[in-house]
Amino acid sequence: MGVRDVASYVAGQWIGPDDGAREIASALNGQVIARAGHSRLDTQAMLDHARTVGGPALRAMTFHDRARMLKALALHLDAHKQPLYDLSFETGATQTDHLIDVDGGIGTALVFASKGRRELPDGHVYVDGEVEQLSRKGTFVGQHICTPRPGVAVHINAFNFPVWGMLEKLAPTLLAGVPAIIKPATATCYVSEAAVRILLDSELLPEGALQLVSGGLGDMLDRLTCQDMVSFTGSATTALKLRQTPALLENAVRFVAEQDSLNASILGPDVAPGTEEFDLFLREVQREMTVKAGQKCTAIRRILVPCAQVEAVIAGLRAALGQITIGDPRLEPPHTGALHMGALVSAAQRRDVLEKAALIGQEATRVFGDPDTFPTLGADKDTGAFVPPMLYHCTDPDGAQHVHHTEVFGPVSTVMGYRDLRHAADLANRGQGSLVASVITADLSVARDLALNIAAFHGRIYINNATSMAEATGHGSPLPHLVHGGPGRAGGGEELGGIRAVKHYMQRTAVQGSPEILSAITGTWVPGSTEETGPDHPFTRRFEELSIGETLHCPARLISSDDIDQFATFTGDTFYAHMDDAAAARNPFFPGRVAHGYLLLSFAAGMFVQPDEGHVLANTGLDSLRFMKPVTPGDSIKVRLTVKAKTRRTDAYGEVRWHVTLTNQTDEPVAEYDLLTMVAT
């Protein structure tokens, strides 16, 4: 390939590199393949474009609109991903690495799209938590809401995952309704630029929702305000430098860092050679040392094993790592038979890895891998950024410093022996904050002990054994459903984690007022606010014809001893509190014999249901059920059914959330819950 000019997308226009451009070399042979960067970038124009064009367009969409857009974007990228594979080879990545980066990024976007439809409202306000009653009579209440910030999210991404690293931040940002300016690491920005072009060419994004900086950010961070956000992935050194930007400090700009860390994997004391767990441990370490040539923020850097198993683990890892073939990833099977690892991203990264590995070598002995002598397939190790997997053994992990504080961002890891579980936890925590620690054990007490003693220092704990290994995703695989981040050295922030990641780009605000005020703001009926009476039974009308707050009041029904007896006989629920008056009276919660709670729910359904075929298609759930006061024979119950919220699911039907309240003959609350039904449109 020739030298590629990598452009930036600025305020609706592609702008190529100028005299301030930096040359980018192939990881495979050191030849210049691209140039990117600008001597001057109009950062204020980019910020203004995002705030005044992209932001309003995104905020005009509902959460579901944005989720549908996100799904369409992911599917479009999936249909056009081959050019990303082709370019990614130049970063030193193998086809397996492409699947993690490109397909993993697309999959992450699809998860957020799905969660957006299932867990967010088809509206503009996210309700965070339940209503808090702040006054005796309930006329003054409070609730937390989340709304999109009217600023811009600046994403500063690392070089190792030019697609996944972009999409795992972009997906929750767009879902939140916030425009993004993406700044990929220059070393691999040509892959990110290609992905951004595919996304923009889809014409699915509103103008201004996505911009790209290929090269340096210039003075952009100096121009951020209190409504803007910065999400960073990379080294602790760079994160510290960015955090100290005066504008970020003065304006309290939200800054989230996901930093490289010294992640550990712990072999449980119950695991011995020859067991499935022992072989699993070796596979996990081998994979995490060699996938992406060890250039993963979640890679295993420290291997903690019982002292009695140190030699067996080293022997096993030598054998496993000895099977790894290194070379040009474009020559993968069927051409070569078995290529497992490509190159580091650049010659500079190779130098950094070798320098830091030398520091590890001051405290540990290299037991596998020689950076001066190793074979490469279809490539020259001296012109490409190749290094072999290197395994070290530290005999004094308590006295060592570098193995716990120096991260070698490449295929390098160190074996250390531990005496007992407390010692293992102490060594794991010596990293002073990590993204992930893994534990391979079949002993439940070992898993619990380690989890309780290392959780405070780790963002994720991955525990695997023979029971879960067939379906487990791996030590180094952050999932969009769970948080990715960690304390201390790992940056102190969080990414991913489902809707938690979306809320990061929104402002949580406490709203106080009358129930009617809260209902008007949230679009969700709050008990105590206005009730409306519909023209007929609500089950006879379509989804769009129902109004929030529409309420059906049902006449009272007497609960008799015969009702309780028949329900007990029919269901088999003959719990003493329902059948034995004297025994029930000895229970401090009951005055005597009481009706079954589920009898009350069943009667309530019979009281509010409209039996004819109509627009209610199915009941799909019951949430937040509470029984507040027992019902005894001779009591009556009344039912109130209110349209609490509505969410369109497809063109054919929508979900209606009904608030159901049961009261007795003196209007005291007996039970309440939310009923979910699908109603035809």
What pLDDT digit, counting tens, does each position of 584-598 carry? 889 888 889 999 999
Helices (H), 163-252: 164-176, 189-201, 236-243, 246-250
Q: What is the DSSP letter of 420?
A: S
pLDDT of residue 336: 46
Pair 543, 654: CB distance under 8 Å? yes
Q: List the Cα angle 493/494/499 in 5-degree steps.
A: 145
pLDDT of residue 333: 55
Q: Is 350 in a helix, a strand, or coil?
A: helix
**Integer Cα distance of 260 and 407 in angstroms:** 8
pLDDT of residue 511: 94
Q: What is the DSSP letter of 54?
A: I
CATH class of 263-476: alpha beta
Confirm whether 4-260+501-506 and 263-476 share one CATH topology: no
Q: How many helices (H) and strands (E) does the chain have?
A: 22, 27
Residues 6+ apart with CB under 8 A from 397: 403, 404, 416, 417, 418, 427, 430
What are the structural domain ranges in the chain? Answer: 4-260+501-506, 263-476, 531-680
pLDDT of residue 1: 58
What distance lies between CA 496 and its chain's CA centroid? Answer: 2
Question: Does 4-260+501-506 carry CATH code 3.40.50.720?
Answer: no
For 202-225, write each residue's pLDDT tens digit: 999 999 999 999 999 999 999 999
Which amino acid is residue 608, in one-letter code?
A: F
Does residue 529 have a pLDDT over 60?
yes
User: Helix, strand, coil proportions of the chain in percent (round to 5)?
Assistant: 35, 25, 35
Please, which contacts does 368-374 make with residues 24 or more away whose CB atoms are closer than 8 Å? 368/314, 368/317, 368/318, 368/321, 368/322, 369/321, 369/411, 374/326
Of 254, 101, 60, 73, the residue nearest 171 (C-alpha) = 73
> Mean pLDDT over all residues of the chain?
92
Active site residue 258: yes
> pLDDT band at 337, cuts 50/70/90?
very low
Does residue 476 have a pLDDT over 60?
yes
Pair 34, 22: CB distance under 8 Å? no
Active site residue 297: yes
For 481-525, write each residue's pLDDT tens digit: 998 999 998 988 889 989 999 999 999 999 999 999 999 999 899
**Integer Cα distance of 75 and 69 in angstroms:** 10
- List the catalytic residue out of 90, 258, 288, 494: 258
> pLDDT band at 302, cuts 50/70/90?
very high
Q: How far is CA 559 from CA 578, 625, 629, 671, in A?
A: 13, 20, 14, 15
Does residue 656 have a pLDDT over 90?
yes
* Rounded average pLDDT over 54-77: 96
Does residue 526 have a pLDDT over 60?
yes
Q: List the Cα angle 212/480/266 in 5-degree steps.
A: 115
- List the catalytic residue out of 146, 168, 189, 297: 297
CATH class of 531-680: alpha beta
pLDDT of residue 335: 46
Q: List the Cα angle 110/112/117 in 5-degree steps.
A: 100
Cα Rg of the chain (Å, integer) = 30
For 544-560, write each residue's pLDDT tens digit: 999 999 999 999 999 99
Q: List residues bridging with 183 in a β-sheet.
A: 156
Assign residue 175 a region: left if phi > 0, alpha if psi is -120 to 50, beta otherwise?
Answer: alpha
Q: How far is CA 523 from CA 137, 250, 517, 519, 532, in A?
A: 22, 36, 10, 5, 15
**Integer Cα distance of 577 and 591 in angstroms:** 10
Q: Is 286 in a helix, a strand, or coil?
A: helix
Sign of the Cα pseudo-torsion (191, 194, 199, 205, in order): positive
- What strand order describes the sheet that includes 126-133? 126-133, 141-148, 506-513
